[in-house]
């Protein structure tokens, strides 16, 4: 593998659709309420893409420093672990994506100022800075939260609540409590992807002190936890539609349920961690399908 391919591999492009799901859902929810800004949408997508790549690069760097990335890891080989990209090169690229995330985030806020007051804008700026910090501190730093079982909570907050509600707010300048339901659905599905990742890597993580939630509770309980994540996500979406019922198109998102149910079946029956790797892609795609079908169903 040459260096260009190594960098593309390090960006982990397969994670980007899931990251964009919260932008799609928040924007479609805003559009269903009659408000949509194309510049807000594009800038929110760019900022999210940069943040996700930043998270992936920082994760590659952090796991290589801690030793969690090694020859026993079940998932794909990482860039720094392979030796093709040095730690110094990775640090420089992390800094580049911090800069890109911050610049597009500022531009996004500038575009949203026509709807927001300065207090709201500063709050959104603070949220953006926290997102950058969270992307880096997942595996990097003296006390990375990903190594202490808090990854699930942060994924739920940033890929669900903050991502969906923040995007909707940037479009509309308003919020209502029922939006917590679809935001919770997507957040829990995103946590499900992380849970699968941690179930796959549980043996290696245990050996190298990466105390994910799966390491803490064990694989058997992690399977039950996964069941609850998906079921609650599905239920929250149904409750939102029932609260806002106008026509049958609103149940379009039900097309995402069969693959979600199949994912539950596979996980509950699983006894070999390495066989969970294909399920990550399937669940990430199902989350994207849910995001698009849920939002489009509200507009039709």
pLDDT digits (tens, 9 = 90+) for 154-182: 999 999 999 999 999 999 999 999 999 99
pLDDT digits (tens, 9 = 90+) for 277-290: 999 999 999 999 99
Q: What is the predicted pLDDT for the residue at 172?
A: 96
Using an 8 Å Cβ cutoff, are 171 and 35 in contact? yes
Question: Measured between alpha carbons, how far is 164 from 183 in angstroms, rounded to an integer?
Answer: 6
Domain boundaries, given as residue ranges, for the chain: 3-299
Question: Measured between alpha carbons, how far is 291 from 107 in angstroms, rounded to an integer?
Answer: 25
- Report the run of H or E that residue 79 belongs to, with start and end: helix 79-82
Using an 8 Å Cβ cutoff, are 198 and 139 in contact? no
Q: What is the predicted pLDDT for the residue at 68?
A: 55
Q: How confident is the model at residue 2 (pLDDT cuts 50, 70, 90)?
A: confident
The residue with greater pLDDT, 178 or 147, is 178
Mean pLDDT of 18-47: 97
Question: What 3-state DSSP class applies to 77?
Answer: coil
pLDDT > 70? residue 75: no
CB-based burial label for 214 (10 Å; 0-12, 13-18, 19+): buried
Percent of the chain with pLDDT over 90: 76
Mean pLDDT of 26-37: 97
CA dihedral in degrees (169, 171, 172, 173; nearest 10)? Answer: 50
Q: How confident is the model at residue 77 (pLDDT cuts 50, 70, 90)?
A: low
- pTM: predicted TM-score of the whole model, two decimal places: 0.94
Residue 166 Cα distances to 51, 184, 217, 228, angstroms: 15, 13, 32, 25
Question: Measured between alpha carbons, how far is 81 from 68 in angstroms, rounded to an integer?
Answer: 10
Mean pLDDT of 59-73: 67
């Amino acid at each position: 593998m040459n260096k260009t391919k190594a960098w593309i591999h390090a960006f982990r492009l397969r994670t980007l659709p899931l990251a964009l799901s919260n932008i799609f859902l928040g924007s479609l929810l805003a559009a269903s309420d009659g408000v949509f800004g194309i510049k807000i949408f594009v800038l929110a997508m760019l900022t999210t893409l940069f943040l996700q790549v930043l998270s992936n690069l920082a994760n590659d760097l952090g796991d290589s420093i801690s030793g969690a990335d090694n020859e026993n890891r079940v998932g794909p080989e990482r860039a720094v672990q392979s030796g093709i990209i040095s730690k110094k090169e990775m640090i420089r690229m992390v800094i580049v994506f911090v800069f890109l995330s911050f610049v597009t985030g500022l531009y996004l806020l500038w575009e949203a100022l026509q709807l927001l007051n300065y207090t709201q804008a500063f709050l959104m700026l603070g949220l953006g800075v926290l997102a950058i910090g969270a992307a880096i501190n997942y595996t990097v730093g003296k006390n990375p939260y990903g190594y202490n079982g808090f990854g699930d909570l942060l994924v739920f907050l940033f890929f669900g609540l903050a991502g969906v509600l923040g995007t909707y707010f940037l479009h509309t300048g308003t919020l209502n409590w029922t939006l917590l339901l679809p935001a919770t659905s997507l957040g829990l599905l995103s946590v499900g992807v992380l849970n699968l990742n941690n179930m796959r890597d549980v043996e290696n993580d245990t050996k190298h002190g990466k105390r994910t939630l799966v390491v803490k509770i064990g694989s058997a309980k992690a399977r039950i936890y996964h069941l609850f994540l998906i079921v609650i996500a599905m239920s929250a979406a149904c409750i939102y539609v029932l609260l806002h019922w106008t026509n049958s198109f609103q149940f379009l998102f039900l097309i995402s349920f069969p693959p979600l149910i199949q994912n539950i079946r596979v996980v509950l029956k699983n006894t070999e961690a390495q066989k969970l790797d294909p399920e990550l892609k399937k669940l990430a795609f199902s989350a994207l399908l849910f995001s698009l079908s849920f939002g489009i169903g509200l507009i039709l």
